[in-house]
Amino acid sequence: MDNDFTQISRRRFAAGFALGSVALALPLPLRALTVDEARALVDKAVGDINKVINSGKSETAMYGDFERIFSKYADVAVIARSALGPAAKSASSGQMNAFTKAYQGYISRKYGRRFREFIGGTIEVTGAQPVKSYYEVISVAHLKGEAPFDLRWHVSDKSGRNLFFNIIIEGVNMLASERAEIGAMLDKRKGDLDALIGDLKSA
């Protein structure tokens, strides 16, 4: 009887120790992103953008700065996968990495051209609010000789860092418009992802 009890106790101890070891090995729950942190991220990104657009640098130099800002504050992998749409499911890991890198440069130049229109103006963060599982940070662009217009940034920490994954400029949703455009570009190349990657590098 004593021997049976000892064996049961040992088994319970071993099971408890094993469960405890597993619990220690599991990552601790991540602290949830707050509205203030979301706003602070966009404040920093906007501050960097304002510096670039009013730096007096050449167009080429500005595009390089915009790419660094994009890679620092944006969830590039999520944005690239969303832009590629259904084709991302059949892409190899190598193709996905190559596409993400090429797309980062492409979208930085594309939106860099748009932000160049802001030279002499500023972007001002005015508020932030929760939307479903992310935060929307609201900002206003003030351009010389034009009426102010709305820019909204969607911020999440799902990738393990606080990053923005979408911008809405004057009501135009970046993720939606990029998916439509990249989809059309891929269709034009008859689904050849490698050809699209090569073309994005020079676009």
Q: How far apart (Å, rounded) are the C-alpha atoms in residues 3 and 10? A: 11
What confidence tier does 17 reach under pLDDT thresholds 50, 70, 90? Answer: very low
Q: What is the DSSP string of 88-128?
A: HHHS-HHHHHHHHHHHHHHHHHHHHHHHHTTTT-EEEEEEE
> Is residue 2 assigned to a domain?
no
pLDDT in tens, 180-201: 999 999 999 999 999 999 999 9
Percent of the chain with pLDDT over 90: 66
Crossing angle (nearest 10°) for helices 93-116 and 59-73: 120
Q: What is the CATH number of the domain that holds 154?
A: 3.10.450.710
What confidence tier does 12 reach under pLDDT thresholds 50, 70, 90? Answer: very low
pLDDT in tens, 97-114: 999 999 999 999 998 888
Exposure b/e, 31-66, CB count within 10 A at least 16 = b: eebeeeebbbbbeebbebbbebbeeeeeeeebbbbb
Q: How far apart (Å, rounded) are the C-alpha atoms in residues 49 and 43? A: 10
What confidence tier does 60 reach under pLDDT thresholds 50, 70, 90? Answer: confident
Q: How far apart (Å, rounded) are the C-alpha atoms in residues 89 and 103? A: 17
Tokens read off for 145: 């000789």
> Is residue 16 assigned to a domain?
no
Q: What is the pLDDT of residue 99?
A: 98
Residue 115 predicted with pLDDT over 90: no
Q: What is the pLDDT of residue 28?
A: 35
> Is residue 14 assigned to a domain?
no
Q: Which domain holds residue 83?
A: 35-202
Average pLDDT over residues 48-58: 90
Cα angle value 49/116/199 (rounded, 5°): 100
> Is residue 179 assigned to a domain?
yes
> Is residue 1 assigned to a domain?
no
Q: How many domains does the chain have?
A: 1
> Is residue 194 assigned to a domain?
yes
pTM: 0.79
